[in-house]
Structure 1
Amino acid sequence: MTTTTAYPGMHRRRARGLVGRAAVVALASTGLLGTLAPAALAAGPATTAAPHRAVAPSTVAEPAALESALRAVVEEGGSSAVQAEVREDGHPVWRGAAGVADLATGAPVPNGARFRIGSVTKTFAATVVLQLVGEQRLRLDDPIERYLPGLVPNGGAITVRQLLNHTSGIYNFTDDPRFSTEGETALQHWLTVGRWTTYRPQAVVHIATAQPPYAAPGEKWKYSNTNYVLIGMIIERVTGHTWTEEVDRRIIRPLDLRGTSMPTTSPIVPGPHAHGYIQRASGQAADVTIENPSAFGPAGAGISTTTDLTRFNAALLSGKLLRPAELAEMKKQVPAENGSTYGLGLVRYPTACGEFWGLTGGIAGYGTVLMGDAAGRRQVAISLNPLHVSEATSRTFQTLIDTTTCGSATGQTAGVPGL
């Protein structure tokens, strides 16, 4: 099932590539994401096109090309569902969805479907921190010991900045076996026990600090979700409110992001949504839509829509949420992995149509890509419900990113760090 909508004002931009296969691998290789094995899709509902709902002629990668790129991600078996939106100058210019919301019923993906955004939550949390910096309520180079005394070994040598850009060296709690879905035994335990467990932030930090650090603070980049759990705790210490309350007060309500929420323990995805799945050894897809996200917090618990995410990205990069000095700090990159870089909850993606800024994210059953140009004028948000990562599915996802971002598909890539 494919539905697309084109809007007035769309124009062509030629591309020579974007994030490509690295993004697909990243979306399926970190923590609870796992590398998802092949799964059979309901061929009829997933591949039969619905009537095209073009509102007006388009000149941004023709709607037919956008629709084809979207549908290919599903038809190749890479995802049970995929959604995408392109926004320009404050207005959506194209929106589409393909696949099915539920493999059991074959129901189509509903309009405005919500989804778990995984690590894109980090950009929301980082924005709050940078706002607090602008208010002179904390400093990026303050030691975390100042805000969380005694919680993290060597906390006097680890800075807030190092948490935000993943150079703290602190162990990634999602690498702990209790969060694994690799192998049938681990997956079954997580399905029956792990995904229902409520974790307090302190408990998550204790899981991480029970393991030796990856490196000395500032020595190297190493992705760790623990960093952002600590960021949430620092936000609460500085403001007297939870990180969710601050994100709601500072970002969600001012931008009127009606489909966005930052749950603490609620396991459901509220409102219309597509189900998320993990492949079992038997070949069956396990429905993992319902999950207590308390362990992830500001590292990955968020829920949103493509419309809300593009609006958020536009507001961030156009300077509506941060002053120039704080936005510049957020954009400062450190070397990450595979030639990529990482900022303060924000990554730079070189493209043929200029630099794009955003983040990828993933949690069991869901993957997200959000990026926009440096001026905050053009944004792309993609949500997929991954089933299988292969060379073929990677190529289809590369084509979708190229086509939505710059207007054509060329397959050039740039590295994407972990989620």
Structure 2
Amino acid sequence: MSRVLPRILAALVTVGAGLVAAPAAHADTSPVQRSVDALVSQDRFPGVLASVRQPDGHTRNYTAGVADLRTGAKMPVDGRVRIASNTKMFTATVVLQLVGEGKVGLDTTVETYLPGVVRGPAIDGRNITVRHLLQQTSGLLDYDEAIFADFPDGLNTYYEPYDLLRAGFATKPESAPGAKFVYSNTNYILAGLVAQKASGRPIGELITERIIEPLGLRGMYWPAEGETTIRGTHPRGYLPADPPVDITESDQSPAWSAGALVGRPSDVNRFLAGLLGGRLLAPAQLAEMKKTVAAPGFDSVGGSRYGLGLATFALSCGGFAWTHGGIAPGYVTVVGITASGKAATVAVNSMVPDDDANRRLERSLDIALCRG
């Protein structure tokens, strides 16, 4: 998944030889296990977590590599990771729930909910709709380059959402609203603020009470303000430098409604099954979520399309899966669910060092969905 943060990463780190040891041999020789083992042995990710959920709910979890390069501790089964931009699916779901309740209009301007807020060089919230935000077609640019200019040193800096917007509004848009897909976290910070204004409640509370609790996502949570650690069992997260840099502790305020959630791979799969199975949205709102536009650059192949917080992922076994994906400091998570209801999530505890490794990580998701 193409993002600003990997470009910053590429300018900062050099991947060294011998980053991690080869994984221990597994008695399991299934295609999924072989693929996650290869991510450690060939692509030098410290460790991998994977979970595959069948349409009937039966789940199988996989691990490879280590959770902690210092101690050599094995990857925990179904451990917690920062799921990053997969949070956008949750934010979009909450906004669409509010649409169904008549509190938000998809084709209503952002100005209606946040008067005078969306202003900048050639930027005017009176021309940008809620649909433009969720569909990534507002043209607004990302705030990441400004926020992460001192990456990784600034990982424990706290930002208010309006701080992020100021960074995002400092540069004129790439395109006019509705003209084309431009992936930007700025859109989802605004979507979170719209949800808060329309409901009168914080976005983290909305996600928790409307999605996490009803679906029983017991390993998933919205971080508390100022919280920098990951609760419970989790792998350490690394910057793939030589030597690797442990960046597990980081403030999630720069991600907020665009990427703050923490959860287990099985939680993400359960969410996908609930969302696409109609447990969270009425048919009309789920249909709106699935209306897509071309999304060049969103995946390594370049054939993805993007809806309202959901994207498509072409499968080698035919057809496509619904997906998103997320990149956080120290963690990358790829996810998908097929038309049959099979869901899979693969997470690594290091940022992706190069395009080849990114393609193979996406390939591991394809194997999990097609052969898992």
**TM-score of the superposed pair, with normalisation by structure 2:** 0.90
Cross-structure match for 1:354: 319
Tell me which of 231, 253, 265 is aligned to 1:306: 265
Give runs of aligned pairs for residues 395-414 of structure 1, distance below 5 A: 396-407=360-371
The answer to whether the aligner puts 1:386 opposite 2:350 as a matched pair is yes
CA distance in structure 2 between the partners assigned to 1:123 and 1:395 by the alignment: 22
Tell me which of 223, 227, 230 is aligned to 1:269: 230
| Alpha carbons of structure 1 residues 339 and 381: separation in structure 2 relative to 1, 3 Å | closer
Unaligned runs of 5+ in 2: 297-301
Match of 2:155, SS state, is: helix
Paired AA for residue 14 in structure 2: A
The answer to whether the aligner puts 1:116 opposite 2:116 as a matched pair is no
Which string of whole-angstrom CA distances, capped at 9 and with x for unpartnered residues, describes residues 193-249 of structure 1?
Answer: x11111111111111112222222112211110110111111110111111000000
Cross-structure match for 2:286: 327
The answer to whether the aligner puts 1:83 opposite 2:49 as a matched pair is yes
Paired AA for residue 405 in structure 1: L
Cross-structure match for 1:372: 337
The answer to whether the aligner puts 1:146 opposite 2:112 as a matched pair is yes
| Alpha carbons of structure 1 residues 343 and 31: separation in structure 2 relative to 1, 3 Å | farther
Tell me which of 256, 277, 281 is aligned to 1:297: 256
Match of 1:196, SS state, is: coil
| Alpha carbons of structure 1 residues 402 and 119: separation in structure 2 relative to 1, 3 Å | same
Tell me which of 82, 85, 99 is aligned to 2:65: 99
Cross-structure match for 1:363: 328
Paired AA for residue 138 in structure 1: V
Which string of whole-angstrom CA distances, capped at 9 and with x for unpartnered residues, describes residues 350-399 of structure 1?
Answer: 32243310211111111111110135x21011111235545763564354
CA distance in structure 2 between the partners assigned to 1:150 and 1:235 by the alignment: 17
Match of 2:198, SS state, is: helix
CA distance in structure 1 between the partners assigned to 2:190 and 2:133 by the alignment: 8
Deviation of 1:64 after TM superposition, in Å, equals 2.7
| Alpha carbons of structure 1 residues 33 and 129: separation in structure 2 relative to 1, 3 Å | farther
Match of 1:83, SS state, is: strand
The answer to whether the aligner puts 1:171 opposite 2:141 as a matched pair is yes
CA distance in structure 2 between the partners assigned to 1:293 and 1:32 by the alignment: 18
Tell me which of 184, 188, 192 is aligned to 1:224: 184
CA distance in structure 2 between the partners assigned to 1:258 and 1:405 by the alignment: 23
Paired AA for residue 6 in structure 2: S
Deviation of 1:76 after TM superposition, in Å, equals 1.0
Which string of whole-angstrom CA distances, capped at 9 and with x for unpartnered residues, describes residues 47-70 of structure 1?
Answer: 113565xxxxxxxxxx53221111
Cross-structure match for 1:159: 129
Paired AA for residue 115 in structure 2: P
Cross-structure match for 1:342: 306
Deviation of 1:42 after TM superposition, in Å, equals 6.3
| Alpha carbons of structure 1 residues 103 and 340: separation in structure 2 relative to 1, 3 Å | same
CA distance in structure 2 between the partners assigned to 1:147 and 1:34 by the alignment: 38
Give runs of aligned pairs for residues 242-281 of structure 1, distance below 5 A: 242-263=202-223, 264-280=225-241
CA distance in structure 2 between the partners assigned to 1:33 and 1:313 by the alignment: 31
CA distance in structure 1 between the partners assigned to 2:183 and 2:356 by the alignment: 27
Q: Tell me whether 87-96 or 286-295 shows the greater mean CA deviation.
A: 87-96
CA distance in structure 2 between the partners assigned to 1:357 and 1:208 by the alignment: 28
CA distance in structure 1 between the partners assigned to 2:284 and 2:329 by the alignment: 36
Cross-structure match for 1:196: 156
Match of 2:37, SS state, is: helix
Paired AA for residue 32 in structure 2: L
8 Å CA contact 2:336, 2:343 repeated in 1: yes
CA distance in structure 1 between the partners assigned to 2:13 and 2:352 by the alignment: 5
Match of 2:99, SS state, is: helix
Match of 1:265, SS state, is: coil
Paired AA for residue 333 in structure 1: T
- Report how many residues are paired: 361
**TM-score of the superposed pair, with normalisation by structure 1:** 0.81
| Alpha carbons of structure 1 residues 300 and 39: separation in structure 2 relative to 1, 3 Å | farther
| Alpha carbons of structure 1 residues 36 and 298: separation in structure 2 relative to 1, 3 Å | farther
Unaligned runs of 5+ in 1: 1-22, 53-62, 181-185, 409-419
Compute the RMSD of aligned alpha carbons: 2.2
| Alpha carbons of structure 1 residues 47 and 251: separation in structure 2 relative to 1, 3 Å | same
